[in-house]
Structure 1
Amino acid sequence: MLRKSYLIALTFWCICNMQAQEKIWEVNLKESLYKVGWIEQSNDGLILAAGAKGFMALNNNTGKVVWQNEDLKSVDRNSFLNIPQLPMFYIEYSSLLGKSRGLLMNSSNGDILFDTQEEEYRIKNFLVIPEQAMILFEMIKDKTRYLMKFSLETWEKEWIAPVGENKLGLLKKVLGNPSFIDHEPQFDRQGNMIIGIGDDIYVLNPKDGSLVWNYEAKNKIKALVYSPINNNLYLGVKKSNRLVIFDPATGEDITPGKLKLRGYMIDLVKDDDSDNLILLESEGFNLIDPKTNNLLWKKSFKIDPLTEVIPKGNDFYAIGAGEKLGLMAKVDAEGKKVWDAKIRGYAYYNSLTEKGVMYISTERANIIDYTTGKDIWKKDVKFRSIPAVTYDWQEDKVIIFEDGKGYKFDLRTGDIDLFAENVELENVTKKTPLEAEYIENTGYFLFSDQHVSLLSNKGKLVYTDYYKEPSSNNTLFALGNLAGNALGVDLDIEGSIENINMLTDLSNGVYRQTLDQNGARDETSTTFGLYVGSGQGNMQTVLETTRTRYFNSKQTNDHQFIVAKNRNESAPTDHAIYMVNKATGKIEKEIGLLDKTPNYLVDDIDNRVFINENNELLSCYGF
């Protein structure tokens, strides 16, 4: 009775103070599931609910049960993998005998597509390869690694192949990276699949999974690159100054003599201006003639440590990014130095502009003149942390915000203009992983999980706000994707690695990208479709959908959803979900929460929020 009265009071408060957002449906799942441990949304929109008495899918529009499996009790949330762009997911659960089993399921009807049964396989990761009409699953059984090919044409397992003993490193375990594949699949002219794992090369026949050939290096493989230009496979091994070249069809070593390097090979890329291959080494670089595989320069150009080479015409710009001091050098077509320039700090972004090479380091930003090697900007732009980045397509400028200052940067000309300064954001420090988003005809939305601010395109702060997080150990929010950790270097700089990714994408002409579960900050199911085939007019549609969902602080095009401590001290609940208008900063809707760490989902397409509270009450609100 007391609980019923509390819910009535909560409902009344919601109606009076939440601008009357609509509760579309509410389902108590205690009888069918007993306790709802977690909810997720499948790529086709269904709400998946895992409980102590089973596992079910509900229609997101009505709340009615679409399918239920009473055998799937206490499904492990940590095992859940939503396969991007497909109505498919993977889960693990414990059977009555206490043994764990893994299932690949069709979310639309609950059909089991693959069952590990008693064989004790565990799916750890996957890679969707549409051009090969397949999903490649990484699996573990006992201490052995396995690959499984799952067909996107038949929706059936085709084969399972062993690929050596599992030796997942401590770093991967700490970072939560379940993948054992270090070098993703490449396919040669015969269609064979080439994979690098640890110090091994595996070449498999994709039709049946049979091993074509295998090679074990003396140390960890640092680079494994297949070149379609000459149908050769290039191998670089840690602590080895020898480049090895294979015939991918047979595994025969076809290296012309002994190709000695400065350090070891770290990458191989094509030079579009000359059709040569650029060989990147740990301490320098050289050019390879793909017809003969001979090095074109007698000695590799030395720069230690080498992190990047950017070709431009007949010249090359080599960058060595040390943690405290870096170096940039212009190198001509003969491998001779034209000039070099020192860069203070770690240069985490480099890009070609009309005037020169722009760089952003942990201490400064400037443009180095192509001809002289000198700084173009008389005064450095300095960043204390990785700046928030977005693209203003109306002005055709990259917007950069950091430490109270806003800049408009022209990627083509290299011109940079300060358009905002002394901007004070609420409770934002250099450690805040701040990100940015362009709002058409409005300005620049600056945000993190708990921060929202808007800067006009003229540099005026329209609003700034901070929402106190509900709990210091709130499991709703993923750990911040901080740049120092992501780059693998000891940097005294904070910020989101997504901003570095954004800068890189913008430099390559990519103004928007869809992030997915394989490493993205947001979980995006799909905003397009998945098609398989060779691309020669025989593409087959697997799934077409346009629903996107988000994790952490949820986003939609116009609003930000934030879980925070309730700002209304007289409210019957201590926590709430706020729907904040990005353009105005105003709270347009809010939902009082019974839990301070609820499990909730946002459906952007249908403008709905799904909440699992007290492990039994599942509610759907429309906005």
Structure 2
Amino acid sequence: MRQFKINTVLMAILFMVNSVKAQKIDAPENTYDLGASINQMTLTVAGTLVVATNDGLVGIKPDTNQLLFNFTDYGKVKPEELNFVPMSPYVMVGQTGFANLSSKKAVIDHISGKVLFTTESKGWKNVFTCDVMMPQNKLVVSGFQKGGGKAENVTPKVGVYDLATGNLDYEFFLTKPGKVTMKYFAVTGTPMLLKDKLLIPTSQGIIAKSKTGETLWENKVKNVNWMTCNDSETDIYAFEATANGKNTRIYKLDGNGTEVWKEERKVKGNVTNFEILPQGLAVVSDVAGGSGALGAKAESKITMFSAATGDDLWEKAPKTKGYVQHFYVQDDGILFGIYSGGINKISFDGNTLFKKPLKTGENIMLMAETPQGLIYITSEDANIVDLKTGEQVWSKPLKYKRAVSVASTFDEKNNRYLIAADGKIMAIDANSGDVSDFAKCNFSEKEYPNIMEMRNAGVFLSSDQNMTLIDFDGDENYHAYYKSPGRSTFGKIVGGALAVASTAMTMAMSAKAGANRSAFGSINDLDSYNETGKQAKRAADMFAGIASASFDYLSTRFRATAATENAQFILTNLEGGAGLVKVDKDSGKIEKEIMLKDKKPEYEVDELGGYLFYKSDDKTIMSYNLKS
């Protein structure tokens, strides 16, 4: 290994000088007095800070000195009462009354600040369900609504609202008001909005309604939790978890609501992934471990059903011996990775495509496609394997001590993969697979590197308190370390591109499994290695397809270059107390110092927009502009 170009003493002096020359920011750009104690701060995909307080919910846009909204209708808002609808401008507030006899729901656009819906303003009570539908940009509400006669007030009802305006599109009763019946109608799961109809799962069956509220059909498939369909909406699949939660029943319906299969299909556990394929229906279900010698193993089951008959197409299902962490559909079959270790691939007719299951370390952090094959990185090892056969491309896996995180990237200029683990960066030649030690990487406070990226001058690597730049020969240009003043409760850096990837995958279980899949695109496509930017573009394109000023804003934001792409923000001790430093990635020089004083400050950094939000006291938020 080459000697460092700058010794430790010289570096310490250099960074002291840099710190002195850095721009010091003592005063915030804007200060917001919320007037109530802060319970939680959340930075949204739009760059708006949403704050739950003892008085309600507050929205802050950092480029103005006025609150974006201050929703106090429901009083104190607890963190668990908030639902941020993934990849959208909406936050939903939900509060339930005593014994679940009454409930309150509100939907707020955290970009425009508009309160689009509240159960009170629209006359709703005892709400069964309240679901945002994407990409239709609608809100579907079910329950009882006040305002009619005595019979109407106690008859279950469904309303559909346009979230672009907050106005009612249409509404209808599930049964005729005043009709005497012993049947109890309750909405049991998430409705499904199709091109020309709305399907509502109820305790008495699924009901299909037109956009004028006319009943198109109804059936006896009761207590369905969620539904999905093929692109043409001719094949509808409904899922019902059994009362004990140990199994899931799957029903297939045609476009008229008639059951296609002679009887429903039952799978063990809860369905966590469902893919409609030309070859059949791929189903992944998770089985919780049982107690006793005969208890079920905690593992995932993978099944392929015939779409026509519901018959199991595989004589022998692939063994998982753990929970499926990765699941990808490819041209020749299904590729999957197990959390406890192991990767395998099976053809659509049930034959194993890999010569033998690939053994890997635990926690597969990454599976991605490269020109050489499938790269996988776990907490213990890494390798590239042939996607057709499962054979190793590298002569043997790259092994390292168990790591909480592993940073990696591809050095296109030198045609090599770089992986940081065990206090060093290892280089793997893309053609030969030969492994060599590229550089040392010993981060203080026993931190694991979690970011690696290519810069013009070399390889940038960082963690919470450390950052370094290594030139292409393996020599260290600089290593900056800033001691942590103490761990913050909420303090964290939300990287722009990283936030895109993580937020896109933060979905409800039904959405992950397949419900409303069109809102997100397929989540079962294997990504190419290092294509974070493509993920951001896909998100921007999705936003652009929804007619709304707020979605236009999101599309523009996700297409923009991160305002702070050339700097990293680190919380450390400054002269006078704790603060945040903005450090240039290429030079290692401190460009800005923002004094926060608290040893455990609560803050959020929006790297896409270039703003810092800081909770200066129990009722006050300050914003700082990090761009200039």
With the length of structure 2 as denominator, give the TM-score of the two structures.
0.61
Aligned to 1:402: 421
In structure 1, list runs of 5 or more residues that go unmatched.
1-14, 164-180, 487-500, 517-525, 534-538
Query: Aligned partners of 1:437, 1:400: CA distance in 2, in Å?
Result: 9
Match of 1:129 among 125, 129, 134: 134
Query: Aligned partners of 1:81, 1:596: CA distance in 2, in Å?
Result: 30
Aligned to 1:155: 166
CA deviation digits over 1:330-357, x for unaligned, max 9?
Answer: 6596847783245254473555666665
Q: Is the 8 A contact 1:531 1:542 kept in 2?
A: no
Distance change >3 Å, CA 477–CA 231, structure 1 → 2:
same
CA deviation digits over 1:583-609, x for unaligned, max 9?
Answer: 233322112224334444545576443
In structure 2, list runs of 5 or more residues that go unmatched.
1-18, 146-155, 175-186, 285-299, 507-522
Q: Tell me the secondary structure at the aligned position of residue 339 of structure 1.
A: coil
C-alpha displacement of 1:560: 2.2
- Verify: 1:428 aligned to 2:460, yes or no: no
Distance change >3 Å, CA 423–CA 597, structure 1 → 2:
closer
Q: Is the 8 A contact 1:189 1:231 kept in 2?
A: no
- Verify: 1:561 aligned to 2:561, yes or no: no
C-alpha displacement of 1:557: 1.1
Aligned to 1:299: 315
Match of 1:474 among 462, 467, 489: 489
C-alpha displacement of 1:387: 1.9
Q: Tell me the secondary structure at the aligned position of residue 557 of structure 1.
A: coil
- For residue 406 of structure 2, what is the amino acid of its counterpart? P
Q: Tell me the secondary structure at the aligned position of residue 527 of structure 2.
A: helix
Q: Is the 8 A contact 2:91 2:107 kept in 1?
A: yes
Query: Aligned partners of 1:242, 1:28: CA distance in 2, in Å?
Result: 49
Alignment of 1:91-110 (within 5 A): 103-105=106-108
Q: Is the 8 A contact 2:103 2:126 kept in 1?
A: no
C-alpha displacement of 1:22: 7.6
Identity of aligned residues (%): 18
C-alpha displacement of 1:19: 2.4
Match of 1:388 among 407, 412, 418: 407
CA deviation digits over 1:408-444, x for unaligned, max 9?
Answer: 6799x79575462442222235xx4x42242541444
Aligned to 1:3: none
Distance change >3 Å, CA 225–CA 81, structure 1 → 2:
closer
Greater displacement, 233-242 / 461-470: 233-242
Aligned to 1:343: 359
- For residue 584 of structure 1, what is the amino acid of its counterpart? S
- For residue 419 of structure 2, what is the amino acid of its counterpart? I
Aligned to 1:505: 527
C-alpha displacement of 1:129: 0.8
Q: Is the 8 A contact 1:265 1:279 kept in 2?
A: no
Q: Is the 8 A contact 1:548 1:604 kept in 2?
A: no
C-alpha displacement of 1:247: 1.1
Distance change >3 Å, CA 150–CA 454, structure 1 → 2:
farther
Q: Is the 8 A contact 1:406 1:419 kept in 2?
A: yes
Q: Tell me the secondary structure at the aligned position of residue 545 of structure 1.
A: helix
Q: Tell me the secondary structure at the aligned position of residue 215 of structure 1.
A: coil
Distance change >3 Å, CA 562–CA 231, structure 1 → 2:
same
Q: Tell me the secondary structure at the aligned position of residue 489 of structure 2.
A: coil
Query: Aligned partners of 2:207, 2:611: CA distance in 1, in Å?
Result: 47
- Verify: 1:115 aligned to 2:123, yes or no: no
Higher relative contact order (CA 8 A, sep 6+): 2
- For residue 423 of structure 1, what is the amino acid of its counterpart? C
- For residue 513 of structure 1, what is the amino acid of its counterpart? Q
Distance change >3 Å, CA 610–CA 548, structure 1 → 2:
farther
Q: Is the 8 A contact 1:152 1:532 kept in 2?
A: no
- For residue 556 of structure 1, what is the amino acid of its counterpart? T
Distance change >3 Å, CA 392–CA 541, structure 1 → 2:
farther
Q: Is the 8 A contact 1:40 1:47 kept in 2?
A: yes
Q: Is the 8 A contact 1:423 1:461 kept in 2?
A: no
Distance change >3 Å, CA 53–CA 230, structure 1 → 2:
closer
Q: Is the 8 A contact 2:219 2:258 kept in 1?
A: no
Q: Tell me the secondary structure at the aligned position of residue 427 of structure 1.
A: helix
Aligned to 1:544: 552
C-alpha displacement of 1:154: 2.8
With the length of structure 1 as denominator, give the TM-score of the two structures.
0.62
Aligned to 1:579: 582
- For residue 527 of structure 2, what is the amino acid of its counterpart? D
Q: Tell me the secondary structure at the aligned position of residue 461 of structure 2.
A: strand
Alignment of 1:505-524 (within 5 A): 505-506=527-528, 511-514=533-536
Q: Is the 8 A contact 1:37 1:74 kept in 2?
A: no
C-alpha RMSD of the superposition:
5.9
Q: Is the 8 A contact 1:610 1:620 kept in 2?
A: yes
- For residue 134 of structure 2, what is the amino acid of its counterpart? I
Aligned to 2:394: 377
- For residue 553 of structure 2, what is the amino acid of its counterpart? T
Query: Aligned partners of 2:398, 2:248: CA distance in 1, in Å?
Result: 41
- Verify: 1:446 aligned to 2:461, yes or no: yes
